[in-house]
Amino acid sequence: MKILVINGPNLNFLGIREKNIYGSRDYAALVEMIEQKAKEMGIEAETFQSNSEGAIIDRIQRAYFEDIDGIIINPAAYTHYSYAIRDALAIHSIPKIEVHISNIHEREEFRRISVTAPVCNKQIMGHGLEGYLMAMEEMVKLCTGK
């Protein structure tokens, strides 16, 4: 089983940006956590991060032609307004899970809306970086039907 974990803009600045919200662990630590979890679960996980909407859409589209079983995505600020990323996700019939490090419902009004969540099977938020690991467990359940 292979899953693709996509992170959107500014998540490469984890550990530097708004530590009170996103914590002090950096993006490299997140990648390490995901790789370690994948090893434990006996699955393959590829990570991808971009600050550019087009590059994220290109990666989602490319996954259509690859042997990818599920997509985990934190679209970051694009969550709240990128109909283009939403449309790219809608191309896929494989399971998709949206992750947010913070609880977007307890923050500014503009963060409460996710335009991408309706095309995902699940949304996990407010569990810090551990939310990605929870999403990986949920993804295996969705893929195996257990």
The catalytic residue among 27, 78, 100, 132 is 100
Q: What stretch of H or E contains 53? A: helix 53-64
Task: Confirm or reject binding of residue 34 to ligand DQA (CB under 6 A).
Answer: no
Inter-CA distances, 37 with 10, 67, 82, 111, 136, Å: 23, 20, 29, 29, 8
Least CB distance to ligand DQA at residue 17 (A): 8
Cβ closest to ligand DQA, residue 119 vs residue 143: 119
Dihedral of the alpha carbons of 21, 47, 68, 144, in degrees to the nearest 10: -50
Site string (45-84) toward ligand DQA, x via CB under 6 A = -----------------------------x-xx-x-----
Active site residue ranges: 22, 100
